[in-house]
A and B are shown apart, each in its own frame.
Chain A
Amino acid sequence: MSIFIDQSTRVLIQGITGKEGSFWTRHMKDLGTNVVAGVTPGREGQVVEEVRVFHTVARAVREIPAEAAMLFVPPRFTKDAVFESLNSGIRKIVTIADGIPLRDALEIRAAALSCGAKVIGGNTSGVISPGKAMMGFFPFWIDRVYKPGRIGVMTRSGSLTNEVTAMIVEAGFGVTTLIGVGGDPVPGTRFAEMLPDYQADPETDAVVIIGELGGSMEEEVAEAIASGVFRKPLVAFLGGRTAPKGKRMGHAGAIVSGGTGAVEDKIKALEAVGARVAPRPRLVGPLLVQALAEANNRK
């Protein structure tokens, strides 16, 4: 099993004829992603990377059923594209757009919540189940990062994800599914909302979250552990421990209030419920080993 996507997930690509869209469609297919249709207004009838292109999502799904949409659409058109897919019945959407207006992000998340959809992003590299499928732009051929295995990863970051995941792999592990919830102040989906899926997945032994200063997503993870929603071992790495107050460091999402946003408070919340927090990326691997050994002893 995987979380969110595997080889059987029927993926539609919005913005498939663009430079990024066609380039990453090829790589998604190379990894094994089941890309079934593409959409670019005005381009119906074209074929990109052996994928049929339609004018609109509605016209595409009339002929070819799809359950997930991958958006290669600029930030200012992202809201429209998300609603287009939602209104065609698609309930899994990934948007990589960096720069979605806050107002649009609120409307996207509110709509997704109201119809039980999951929108991942924006400002993310997407979702990848290494060795199986991806929606996004991961250099999955870097095998010291994107190695299949039994650890779930969730992240607010891009480059830092490579840094930390490389340490997970160096410690002898691999990844079931990596979900980039993204660095925006109002991501479509929050860490804690994906935890039930990781809990239910028999192929995931533990989860690593890569967070940072700002917002309250890490505290919500602590609540999910406290309430018993998530019961597997969890290790966190959080950037911005030494960030001075009042400076805009990290992603845009790091500056919006909600809790104090200070890393120290997040560490306290996570450690209070038994999660481990690695002070350096290098220590994520050893802490995973510890946490898994402890969980096995309890059994």
Chain B
Amino acid sequence: MKLFEYQAKDVFRRYGLQVPQGKVAKSPDEAVAAAEKLGYPCALKAQVLMGGRGKAGLVKLARNGQQARDYARDIFASSVTKVGSVLVEEGVAFEKELYLSITADPVSAQGLVIACAEGGVDIEVLAAERPEALVKLEFDVTQGLMDYQIRNLMYDMGLEGEVAKQTSALLGNLHRIFRDYDAELVEINPVFITNDGVVVAGDGKLSIDDNAAFRQKEFPLIRDYFSSDMEFESAQKGIPYLQFDGDISLMCAGAGLTTTVYDLVNYEGGKVANYLEFGGPNYTRALEAMELCLRNPSKVILIVTFGTIARADVMAQGIVDAIQKLKPNRPIVTCIRGTNEEAAVEILRSAGLTPIFDTEEAVRAAVALASKGPTP
């Protein structure tokens, strides 16, 4: 789960990092009031989870009240993404920027610090174009990041004196956050070195491992993390769901198979309305899955499964029960294979469905139905 910048910075503050003073505003008026209180220049930063906020016009530096008013209005009205809140922060006069992040390297199974003496840049572009500008350091996650490793990193970055001392402390604290929060990624881009030599976290990204949710309870799921109500509701139910704007609802089992069906629909010229996966532990939840699909204005529901533990007959019965209860107003294409497949076929046929056994054939059938079907 990715946190918003303001949430990451709240954590940073508690761990002793220097963070610019700021306030979260929920409306243009609140943003202007916050700006007036903080003084100018001040930064207005949309609290959204997408990358590339600067390029999308979602981060602005206001030099006076008029600019604050204009920028606040523009950011909240952005056509790029829905903006629910804006972080208004005091402007920081800096003479240098750095990049710092901690993540995991899946190949070496070590923690990985990535640092760069040039901050504020697109780190992925830099990694592709000038990889030598990045300093990388692996550390044993059981042992933790050690002081000598941090010292090495400071010299490799060309930092000295007071700045090196403060940056070392910051990195040590960042590592504590990485560990304590079961982070997949903690990143500051840029780290400011101010004109008076103070090291400040200019931005903050903190992404918490979903599999550690049982021991990370500080940040519950909130609607603001999601781009649609449906995605929020399905996340609360624990059913993987993505919203698109096509006309074929996918109700499939298994992440890999659902992704492949998504590809096949695109190859056949169809468009997906939603990606929904009810495999694994969710295979008995056909009713909830179909309810979610039916709330889309799609023209057809395409069900493809090839289950192992998820028994085909149980899924077929769930689908038939869901149809009887929900009375869907659009055609349903089924392609259900796997354990107890013969029983599944009987169940589907007796409910008046015509099961298909080949995934590509099922995809073509769904695309054909969607192209001629009326919009429900």
Interface residues of A (CB under 8 A from B): 75-76, 98-103, 105-107, 109-110, 113, 125, 137-139, 142, 155-163, 166, 183, 185-187, 190, 210, 212-213, 215-216, 220, 239-243, 246-252, 254, 256-258, 279-282
**Cβ B184 vs Cβ A256 within 8 A:** yes
A213 — which chain B residues lie within 8 A by C-beta? 259
**Cβ B103 vs Cβ A76 within 8 A:** no
B66 — which chain A residues lie within 8 A by C-beta? none
Asked if B242 lies at the interface with its beta carbon under 8 angstroms from chain A, I say yes
A102 — which chain B residues lie within 8 A by C-beta? 104, 182, 184, 209, 211-212
**Cβ B212 vs Cβ A101 within 8 A:** yes
Could you pull out 5 A-B pairs where Cβ atoms are within 8 angstroms? A159-B256, A212-B256, A242-B262, A243-B263, A254-B255
**Cβ B257 vs Cβ A160 within 8 A:** yes
Known: A106-B141, A139-B338. 6 other contacts (CB 8 A): A98-B280, A98-B281, A139-B308, A159-B252, A242-B267, A243-B262
**Cβ A249 vs Cβ B259 within 8 A:** yes
**Cβ A239 vs Cβ B256 within 8 A:** yes
**Cβ A281 vs Cβ B107 within 8 A:** no
**Cβ A249 vs Cβ B110 within 8 A:** no
A76 and chain B: residue at smallest CB distance: B214
Contact for A242 among B110, B140, B266, B307, CB less than 8 A: B266
Interface string of B214-242 (1 = CB under 8 A from A): 11000000000000000000000000101
B254 and chain A: residue at smallest CB distance: A159
Q: How far is the CA of A282 from the CA of B253 in the complex (A)?
A: 19
B263 — which chain A residues lie within 8 A by C-beta? 239-243
B262 — which chain A residues lie within 8 A by C-beta? 240, 242-243, 249
A216 and chain B: residue at smallest CB distance: B107
A247 — which chain B residues lie within 8 A by C-beta? 242
Asked if B54 lies at the interface with its beta carbon under 8 angstroms from chain A, I say no
A75 — which chain B residues lie within 8 A by C-beta? 211
| CB of B275, distance to nearest CB on chain A (Å) | 6
| CB of A160, distance to nearest CB on chain B (Å) | 3
| CB of B278, distance to nearest CB on chain A (Å) | 11
**Cβ A281 vs Cβ B182 within 8 A:** no
Asked if B29 lies at the interface with its beta carbon under 8 angstroms from chain A, I say no
Asked if B360 lies at the interface with its beta carbon under 8 angstroms from chain A, I say yes
B140 — which chain A residues lie within 8 A by C-beta? 110
A157 — which chain B residues lie within 8 A by C-beta? 254-257
A137 — which chain B residues lie within 8 A by C-beta? 308-309
Contact for B106 among A101, A139, A215, A251, CB less than 8 A: A215
B104 — which chain A residues lie within 8 A by C-beta? 102, 106, 185-186, 256
B23 — which chain A residues lie within 8 A by C-beta? none
Q: How far is the CA of A20 from the CA of B44 in the complex (A)?
A: 53
A161 and chain B: residue at smallest CB distance: B256
| CB of B289, distance to nearest CB on chain A (Å) | 15
B305 — which chain A residues lie within 8 A by C-beta? 159
**Cβ A103 vs Cβ B103 within 8 A:** no
A185 — which chain B residues lie within 8 A by C-beta? 104, 106, 184
Q: How far is the CA of A212 from the CA of B263 in the complex (A)?
A: 11
Q: How far is the CA of A283 from the CA of B209 in the complex (A)?
A: 36
